[in-house]
Every structure is written in structure tokens, then in C-alpha cells.
């Protein structure tokens, strides 16, 4: 596992993680306003009744103005989050998707790094973000877990 990457994989990049969302407006507000990500690209697929929104922690001045430029930027940006909205899910009661939190053997969380965990968490608290774990709770100090509008966990390091 250590050493050079296998031949043919040198330029492979972990480009995205896809998460289904119940309400794209709430999710975009969370990822863009709370976490500071930018909407890089979106596509609508009415024939299949879903839309996708790609967000990432980038400088919006680098993204480009046209859809082809935005798509190219998206495909060349490591660590994007693809928020997928299935039409009608916003009208369903309660949690719609399995976040992996109830069954500890499934999806766990995504993680972000910040300059100062305590300062970031103070900001999140003021913005009304739900915490799963604050930086000083539990046995592991100096890291936190917050929840997005769909209940997905985000580790803050």
C-alpha cells in the first residue's frame, strides 16, 4: 500500500461524494452559507425526476461563467459533494434517506478541516447548526460533529 501508485492510476482523483437531500434549498444554504462552499455546477434531469448540485470549498472567481466551464471545473476539483434531490422528497414526512447514523455499519460522515475548531463551532452554534458532538464533549477533545439539514454528519477538524 505504501510506495508508488499502481500503473494506470497516477491521475485518479477522489472527485465527489454523493448524498441524497430532501430539500435542495435548505441543503444549499447549509453547505454554502454555513460551510462556505460554492455551488460549482448543477444539472436538472426532469425526465428522471432529479437534480444534482455540486458544491466544494473553492474560490468562486475560479469557477467560470458558462456551463461547460463550470462542469470542467467541477470534474477537476477534488472533494466535491454532489447533492442529489429526487423530486417530491421535500413533501415526505420525517427523514427521507438513510444517513448511516442509525446503523453504525453504513456510511459514517464526511470531514472538513478548519483553521480553528473552537472558533468555527462558535460560529456554527450562533447560526443554529445542530451538533452531534461539540469540541469539548466526549473523550476526544478538539473535534466536533455537526449535522446537515438531512442529518448527515460532518466532522470538523
Residue positions annotated with a catalytic role: 155
CA atoms within 13 A on the CB side of 93: 0
To the question of whether residue 122 is assigned a binding role by annotation, the answer is: no
Residue of 128, 122, 130, 121 whose CA lies nearest to 157:
121
To the question of whether residue 82 is assigned a binding role by annotation, the answer is: yes
Residue of 121, 41, 112, 31 whose CA lies nearest to 79:
112
Look up residue 7 and give its DSSP letter: T
To the question of whether residue 93 is assigned a binding role by annotation, the answer is: no
To the question of whether residue 109 is assigned a binding role by annotation, the answer is: yes
Phi, psi of 125 (to 5 degrees): -60, -45
Annotated binding site for Zn(2+): 16, 82, 109, 155
Annotated binding site: 16, 82, 109, 155
Amino acid at each position: 500500500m505504501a510506495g508508488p501508485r499502481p500503473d494506470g492510476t497516477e491521475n485518479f482523483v477522489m472527485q465527489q461524494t454523493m448524498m441524497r437531500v430532501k430539500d435542495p434549498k435548505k441543503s444549499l444554504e447549509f453547505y454554502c452559507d454555513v460551510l462556505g462552499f460554492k455551488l460549482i455546477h448543477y444539472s436538472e434531469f426532469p425526465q428522471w425526476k432529479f437534480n444534482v448540485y455540486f458544491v466544494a470549498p473553492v474560490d468562486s472567481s475560479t469557477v467560470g461563467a458558462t456551463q461547460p466551464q463550470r462542469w470542467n471545473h467541477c470534474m477537476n476539483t477534488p472533494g466535491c459533494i454532489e447533492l442529489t434531490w429526487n423530486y417530491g422528497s421535500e413533501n415526505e414526512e420525517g427523514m427521507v434517506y438513510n444517513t448511516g447514523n442509525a446503523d453504525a455499519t453504513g456510511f459514517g460522515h464526511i470531514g472538513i478541516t478548519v483553521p480553528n475548531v473552537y472558533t468555527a463551532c462558535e460560529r456554527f452554534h450562533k447560526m443554529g447548526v445542530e451538533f452531534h458532538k461539540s469540541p469539548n464533549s466526549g473523550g476526544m477533545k478538539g473535534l466536533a460533529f455537526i449535522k446537515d439539514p438531512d442529518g448527515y454528519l460532518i466532522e470538523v477538524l
